[in-house]
Chain A
Amino acid sequence: MYETRRIIVVGGDADARRLAGAHGIEWFSGLGGVIDACSNVTHLWLVLDGVLPRPDALGALVRGQTRLDASVSGSKILDEGNPDRLLSAGFATDVFETPYTGFDEDELDQGQYDVVRDVAAVGGQSMLVRMDLVRGLGGPDIAMAPFAAAVDFCQRARLRGARVIVVPSSEVLGVDDHQELDRWRERAGRIRAMIKVYGPMTLLWALPMAFLSGFAQCFLSLFLGRWRFFHWLRAWLWNLVKLPDTLRKRRAARKGRVVGDPELFRYQISGSVALRSVVAELSDRIRRRLPGEDRLSIEAVGEELRRPSFIVGAVALLFVLLATRSIWLGGLPAVGYSLPFGESGSSAVSAYAGGWNPAGLGSVEPLRPFIALAGLIQTILFDNRRLAEYVLTAGSWLLGIWGVVRLLRTWGVRAVAGTLAGIVYVAGPAAQAVAQETAVGAAVAIGLIPWSIRFALAPFPASWIARAGRVAAVAVLAGIAAVLAPLTLLVPIFALLVWALVNVTDGAAWRAVGISLVGAVLAVPLLFPWLGTADLGRFVTDGDAYWAVSAVTAVIVGIAAVAVLVAAPQRLGLVASWGAIAVAFGVLVARSAGFGSGREVESVSLVVVSLGIALIVGPSFEAITRVREVGGWRRIVAGVAVAASVFLVAASTATVLGGRAGYPSDEYREAFTFSAARPGDPTASRILVLGAPGNLPGDDRIVEGAAYRLVSAPMPESWEAHLHTARLGDDALAETLRVIIGGETKRAGEILAPFGVRWIVILEEADGDTFAGAWETIFIGQLDLVPLGGGLSNTTFENEAENAVRAISADGSPWTRAGTGYEGKPEFGVGLEVRENANARWGPGEWEQIDWANGTTAAVGAAGFEPIDARRLQAIGAAVWLVALVGVAWGGRRFG
């Protein structure tokens, strides 16, 4: 047993000094010099400045420590402002050294933790340590912040086999500084502590996890209005600078250790305490905003769970999870315009910001803004494209349902009716049509539209700051929706204009139109650089806007609309009128191919139709609950409206069956990914896809009445969906196909090889597809095309001709695709042919045009397109503008 002969008190200001005097022991203001000077001291009582120890705090510590033969003992810490409130009674930690008390917020001390026990660490406010241990460990790490230093000291002690206990009968009063845990110094200290104590194997996984979980925490903190990225970044940079010193300290700490990492893990909890805390806080906030008038409290949980709004909300959440489960498992289905996000999110952003458009044989035509936003989100989500696709889809659905609930609440529609309307909004017939059209951008933008309208309709605040914030918020919402699908910029304006016309004398409605209009104007810069260079005429006329609406759906929606118009109370009736007009005009525009409207117009019109149906369904469910207002024959009519609405809700829930959020089933993965199993690197080549117009991935081109296009192997990505205006290479390819169709060659592979075509896939829409049959007739009689069997469902050929690659050096080495550029073996003094449409920005080095393609050098092992500066600047400007709008919106809400 280590005897307690002489104790010195270190730190703790006047209170500690007074206490030391009362006990007749020495007091030192700091640790410096004490360790070496006092040779006969057996224990040190370390007390943090500003802490107020109870009179028996030291005595209790000594007794407890002596009884349990511990090396480190800590006090119970109570809040100085409210001495009944617990701050800590020893800690557990997670693997990232974050302290975890296990207390509820504002938990009171009722003696529930008054047991002397072993812990991972004790707080630095009051800590009695054996002097020999202090000497052995070199004392607390003065480079660390208090929490981290205490944890670090205890961990190092435990590494030496020392016992760390908490003695709750020893009480000190301190300041609640838990918020400091989130600051950079504490973060940095924890990272340093990890490096110092853990073994190499633990560090190998724990450090990257700490990095990622810290990033995730920072990201999620944004939703709590906390900006933590700089703290996170600074903590890691600090450790980078301090690394040599940390490694020295690590050697000292681990020298003479008697236990390993498993002993350190004993008092650790799984997961990340910091991340869990943010998620819990976020969940709490969301829960408070979920349908339901009252805030959730523990006492009211039982009651809340029985509330219809809570149940419907939970069912809605479950519905979204079920209806999007396939996307969680495998990402968006590859069909039509829905193609997997790119391998690299940052490449997508770069390609949008003045880079190369890789669709077909490539061009300088700008990519759609959706690509940039999707790439940005993917980058944030650890470049996990499947996760990004899921977050966008499921997030849009949740936001959409929630948004409709909030929007309808404006007119007193309660949560149940609102939620059901929300489900019809995101998954009803029109929304399903958007998904069936594989208009991914519009499908995602659906989630933002109700919010945009709601923000414009909400009571206008009194202060100018708040007003500016409101307009900026509308601009942000409208802008993000427009980035996803540019024409959705017009949807809130149109919808609110209809609402204003329905309520022609209502000044607030007209003001909402104005706010929406100003917001839309402010959102326009977000569409640059796409807006500055896009062919808008082609954008709105490409494809045919013709929604083949089912007669059953039309009749049901009509019945619901008429019934609710007749039966609903005045206010709900007007909302339903608004919805009915939106549906009628939406359907009209969605079928306006005869006026030249294209696919984009159709999908945005369908969003309007979906919104309109929701505005009919919500009031119909609400009206039936207004027993006093809706009685007699009107009640029967309201019942008809409800029946029709139930049908629409049931039709919406059909999306659960596929679990693909209404999208068609995947067609292309099986059709194209075979190429990954073929010898060689598939990314070096392209696939020529043939079939019927409208049945190919994304846009197609037409030759002799049949459709074709080039896609990247092994799988086309979302940035390839939209083809550019035909350029030199595209014309050459069309001419080559005419030669093949004309039967002028029996070696089609040979003349397709210069376009990088290694595979030909003929997509068959159904048995007896005459387009596919026609293409098969042409390609089946070619001498250098080998048909691939192996259970492929589409007729597929492999090109036997040599050099069917996208980029090739003069020495014949194929280069592979890397983002929008190429990489391969560096060959000095050797030329490289990049088989993309000719453009002088391809490099590096001297550029020359080789027929329709590009000639550059293979010297550096990489070739790429030099970005267009003006467009890059515009993209940066758009991002800055978005941040500014968000800032104004946040400022208006906070300070207005």
Chain B
Amino acid sequence: MRRVIAVVIVAVAGVLALTQSAPIEVRPPDFGAPSPDVGGATGDATAWYCPWVASGALRDSTFNLVSVIDINATITLPNLNPTEEADVAELRLRGPGARSVYSGDIVRRGASPGVVEFDDGPAVATTAMWSEEILTGDRCVVSVPKEWHLIGGITAEGFTLELQLFNPFAESAKVTVEAITEFGRSPLAGFESIDVPGRSWLTEDLSRVIPFLDMVTFTVTSESGIVIPTLVLNSETDEASWPGTGQSTTWDFPVTSLPGLEPTLVISNAGSVGATVAIDIFTPDGAIPDADGRIVSPLEPLRIHLADLATPPFAVRVRSNAPIGAVIQAAPEGTFPRTDAMPPEVTDDEVTDDEVTDDEDASADEETTDTTEGEEVEEPVVYDGLAAMSGNADVHERWLVPGLGVVPGADTSIWILNPSGDPATVTVSPLGVSTTRSEKIVIPAGRFLEIPVPALSETGNSGMLVDASLPVSVAVSIAGPQGVAFIGGVGVG
């Protein structure tokens, strides 16, 4: 009897034991994926990685810093020789303020990619680089994803294309570079698991590896460590550089061209299905929604000659139903080969005509005002150069814009796009050693605005704080006899 009772007790306890549920599995943390954009300015300490900077006998360059508050900044230029210490410059920036530091004042040894560290924020860094023959510039990068997309490569005759791989970290990185051309995926021999030693950089001449291609998109994937890649494109007249980005469904380009330059938009889809892309054009007279629409297939990068859609200047927004990468490139007509189909008919000729008229008028205003009284009429300024810029993935109400007027002999402008359906009141506050008063401007709905900025030598200001009542997008153009550069803005988010 006792044994039977024991069996019953055991059975009951055993069943109870087996029905006990296991503790809930702890979910792994999500420490946040890096932004698909180059990243925005935040209220924290940040480090900005500037992968393409050089100072030598011919070239000069600046690190352009701007901050809203008082901060300490450290610029570190790693040395390729691992036995030598990095060159470091420390400076204090009173906020709100801006400052440009010649990299040649820190060290002059040719290529000198660097890291700008701010001990607080919001603060932003960009670079500008020039010689007598070239002018280029870039946003520095604050977000460091493991996978980068570099859109808009060309290795056709007359171009040289280089890939800069900057590893500012102590850990050696191992990266793989893949190419997608107009002919589909193209293997890059010797570009699997490239070692990029810590605190150094590599320059790969892609023109030799995959020559004579009109359209190349690269994907740089880190197997271990992290690199910051950038593409450097040289034409016969100028140089353009633009950083790698992630993928986004929206890209804004407040600036697309300058007089004498024809804008093109390069789109690449790294996904597995086709992306339906719409292009909105923002002219001085108003927006042209869906000015163009394409289906961008995977492995088929696309170049769209935007001048076929409207008469420059204009701003552009690219919308897509799937994440894509997009870059704007501008150069004299005929520089970029035509690989796309014939453009659709522009639906609103009148607007285009008007815009052309207005543009001409505006140009005339800008360039010939006060020169008609008996003086020789100046030819409109026409730039001959090469510019490229990756877009802004987000719109913000506040933007920090450094590096204004820093290139000797070049004209600098800020370009502000209001893509919304309402007018935006924008306050622009020059920042620098002699901060002057702010200026309020209203940008009508669906319009863009160019604000020319005087040279640094005239005002001592090299930065601008842009506050808007609605989210806007901001970029910078620098143009001079050396060449042309477009630099994306950095939003404060």
- Interface on A for B, CB 8 Å cutoff? 502, 544, 546, 548, 554, 558, 561-562, 565-566, 573-574, 577, 580-581, 583-585, 587-588, 590-594, 692-693, 704-706, 741-747, 770-771, 773-775, 777-778, 780-787, 800
- Rounded to whole angstroms, the CA-CA distance of A548 and B18 in the bound complex is 10
Min C-beta distance of B253 to chain A, whole Å: 27
Closest A residue to B115 by beta carbon equals A783
Closest Cβ of chain A to B72, distance in Å, is 12
Q: Which residues of A contact B22 (CB under 8 A)?
A: 546, 548, 593
* Contact assessment for A780 and B27 in the assembled complex, using a CB-CB cutoff below 8 Å: no
Chain B residues near A741 (CB, 8 Å)? 31
A-B contact pairs, 30 of them (CB 8 A): A502-B2, A554-B14, A565-B3, A565-B7, A580-B6, A581-B9, A583-B10, A584-B10, A584-B13, A585-B13, A587-B13, A591-B17, A594-B20, A594-B21, A692-B28, A693-B26, A705-B28, A705-B30, A744-B44, A745-B45, A746-B45, A746-B47, A747-B45, A747-B47, A780-B225, A783-B76, A783-B115, A783-B168, A783-B170, A787-B171
**Bound CA–CA A745/B121 (angstroms):** 11
Inter-chain pairs besides A588-B20, A783-B115, A787-B170, 6 sampled, C-beta below 8 Å: A546-B20, A580-B10, A584-B13, A705-B27, A741-B31, A786-B171
Q: Which residues of B contact A554 (CB under 8 A)?
A: 14, 18
Q: In the complex the two chains form, what is the Cα distance from A280 to B26 in whole Å? A: 56
Report the minimum CB–CB distance from B275 to chain A (whole Å): 27
Interface size on B, residues (CB 8 A): 40
Cα distance, A785 to B169, chains bound together (Å) = 8
Contacts of B31 in A (CB 8 A): 704, 706, 741, 774-775, 777-778
> Which residues of chain B come closer than 8 Å to A558, judged between CB atoms?
14
Q: Is B344 an interface residue (CB 8 A)?
A: no
User: Contacts A745-B44, A777-B31: A587 and B23 contacting too (C-beta < 8 A)?
Assistant: no
- With CB as the reference atom, state the residue of chain A lying closest to B46: A746
Other-chain residue from A574, A585, A774 in contact with B28 (beta carbon distance below 8 A): A774
CB-nearest residue of chain A to B170: A786
- Chain B, interface SS category: loop
- Write the nearest CB–CB distance from A517 to chain B, whole angstroms: 22
CA distance A781 to B44 in the complex (A): 16
- Cβ–Cβ contact A781 & B17, under 8 A: no
Taking the closest CB of chain B, its distance from the CB of A69, in whole angstroms, is 81
The complex places the Cα of A592 from the Cα of B170 at a distance, in Å, of 47
Measured between beta carbons, the chain B residues less than 8 angstroms from A693 are 26
Q: Residues of B contacting A587 with CB < 8 Å?
A: 13-14, 17
**Min C-beta distance of B70 to chain A, whole Å:** 18
Q: Nearest Cβ in chain B — how far from A752, in angstroms?
A: 14
B190 interfacial by beta-carbon distance below 8 Å: no
Q: Give the shortest distance, in Å, between B143 (CB) and chain A (any CB).
A: 9
Residue of A692, A706, A800 near B170 (CB, 8 A) is A800
Question: Contacts A577-B6, A745-B44, A783-B169 hold; do A774 and B29 have CB atoms under 8 A apart?
Answer: yes
A787–B32 CA distance with the chains assembled, in angstroms: 22
Which residues of A lie under 8 Å from residue B2 when comparing CB positions?
502, 574, 577
Q: Which 3 residue pairs are nearest across A and B when measured between Cβ atoms?
A: A705-B29, A770-B28, A746-B47
Contacts of B11 in A (CB 8 A): 584
- Hey, which chain B residues are within 8 Å of A705, CB to CB? 26-30
B262 on the A face (CB < 8 A): no
The smallest beta-carbon distance between B116 and chain A, in angstroms, is: 11
Q: Is B456 an interface residue (CB 8 A)?
A: no
Which B-chain residue is minimally distant from A564 (CB atoms)? B3
| Option from B13, B17, B117 in Cβ contact (under 8 Å) with A747 | B117
Among B3, B13, B32, B47, point to the contact of A573 (Cβ < 8 A): B3
Distance, CA A281 to CA B7, complexed state (A): 47
CA A554 – CA B15 in complex, angstroms? 11
The residues in B between 1 and 58 inclusive whose CB is less than 8 angstroms from any CB of A are 2-3, 6-7, 9-11, 13-14, 16-18, 20-23, 26-32, 42, 44-47
Given that A562-B7, A581-B9, A741-B31 are contacting pairs, would A544 and B171 also be in contact in the complex, using a CB cutoff of 8 Å?
Answer: no
Distance of A712 Cα from B45 Cα, bound (Å) = 30
A680 to B17, CA, bound (A): 53
Contact B6 A581 (CB under 8 A): yes
Tell yes or no: B220 within 8 A of A by CB. Answer: no
Complex alpha-carbon distance, A786 and B46, angstroms: 19
Q: Are A783 and B26 in contact (CB under 8 A)?
A: no
Is there a chain A Cβ closer than 8 Å to B144's Cβ?
yes
With both beta carbons as reference points, the residue of chain A lying nearest to B224 in the complex is identified as: A780
Asked if residues A771 and B28 are in contact (CB atoms below 8 Å), the reply is yes
Is A577 a contact partner of B170 (Cβ separation < 8 A)? no
- Nearest CB to that of B12 among chain A residues? A584
User: In the assembly, what is the distance between CA of A592 and CA of B169, in Å?
Assistant: 48
CB of A593 within 8 A of CB of B20, answer yes
B226 at the interface (CB under 8 A from A): yes
Residues A704 and B17 in contact, CB atoms below 8 Å apart: no
Residues of B within 8 A of A704 (CB): 29, 31
CA distance A587 to B12 in the complex (A): 12
User: Which of B6, B7, B32 counts the most A-chain CB atoms under 10 A from its CB?
Assistant: B6
Q: Let me know if A742 and B13 touch, CB within 8 A.
A: no
CA distance A369 to B20 in the complex (A): 32
Q: Which residues of B contact A744 (CB under 8 A)?
A: 42, 44-45
Taking CB atoms and an 8 Å cut-off, the chain B residues in 119-151 that contact chain A are 144
